[in-house]
Amino acid sequence: MLLSGKRLLVTGVLTEASIAFSVARVAQEQGAEVVLTSFGRPMKLTERAARRLPRPPDVLELDVTDPAHLTRLTEDLGARWGRLDGVVHAIGFAPPSCLGGDFLKAEWDDVATALHVSTYSFKALAAAALPLMKEHGGSIVGLDFDARQAWPAYDWMGVCKAALESTCRYLARDLGPFAIRVNLVAAGPIRTVAARSIPGFSAFEDAWSARAPLGWDVGDADPVARACAALLSDWFPATTGEMVHVDGGYHAMGA
């Protein structure tokens, strides 16, 4: 199996509709041992979703904006496994003022929250994983929404994703000497809880259905999960700093 013997940390599972849930499912089907993270009120939702995976995994408490949580994560995984082979970063949040089409209304405090949770956390999670990966290498995969252009209603989350893409390249530079690969999967729109909170999300659905040459199913995260599993495996040993599009080919179309 593709991920036989791998020990993976998967963040961002909220419900069965989460892309990260599909990633965890495919990873288990391919032989990986998985641990999830969550915190606060969503913890119960994550635990409920975990019970629906092929092998219900443990859910560790992790607020990626809290340094103490990140330190404890390293300690917990070190005691549990002694090593870590892969990490999935599927974390993003923006206050309501940062979304919806009025780009100019967001104040710095809200933008700072969005950047901290959605972008800086990628670096923070990589730093927490490094002590458990530096001796043998591994793979860090983040979920992206192609930020090379402006999208309707996406606003400051688009800025966060653009910064995420840059962060990926710098992490690839600095972690490469430890044989740690860092890549992003730029997914087409998937109808997750987070996506439904974006005003005007239906505009993405309509555009993708009409323009993606391979077609696109907003209710099917499996293609994205398979791409993540491939990047977490040993089959991409020389690929890092990359953004892999899993969007039905939409990104390649001019009109």
Q: Annotated catalytic, 170?
A: no
Query: How confident is residue 57, by pLDDT bands cut at 50, 70 and 90?
Result: very high
Q: Write the CA distances from 176 to 25, 78, 213, integer angstroms.
A: 28, 21, 35
Q: Write the CA distances from 72 to 58, 60, 107, 142, 180, integer angstroms.
A: 15, 10, 32, 21, 21
pLDDT at 195 over 70: no
Mean pLDDT in residue range 143-167: 95
Q: Write the CA distances from 213 to 61, 176, 201, 224, integer angstroms.
A: 41, 35, 20, 17
Q: What is the pLDDT of residues 151-161, one digit of tens each?
A: 989 999 999 99
Choose the catalytic residue: 105, 154, 170, 250: 154
Choose the catalytic residue: 6, 105, 120, 161: 161
> Which tokens hold the place of 90?
């599927």
Mean pLDDT in residue range 89-110: 96
Q: What is the pLDDT of residues 168-181, one digit of tens each?
A: 999 999 999 999 99
Q: Annotated catalytic, 105?
A: no
Whether the full predicted model's pTM is greater than 0.75, yes or no, is yes
Around Cβ 200, how many Cβ atoms within 10 Å? 13
pLDDT at 250 over 90: yes
Phi-psi region of 115 (alpha: psi -120 to 50; beta: other; left: phi over 0): alpha
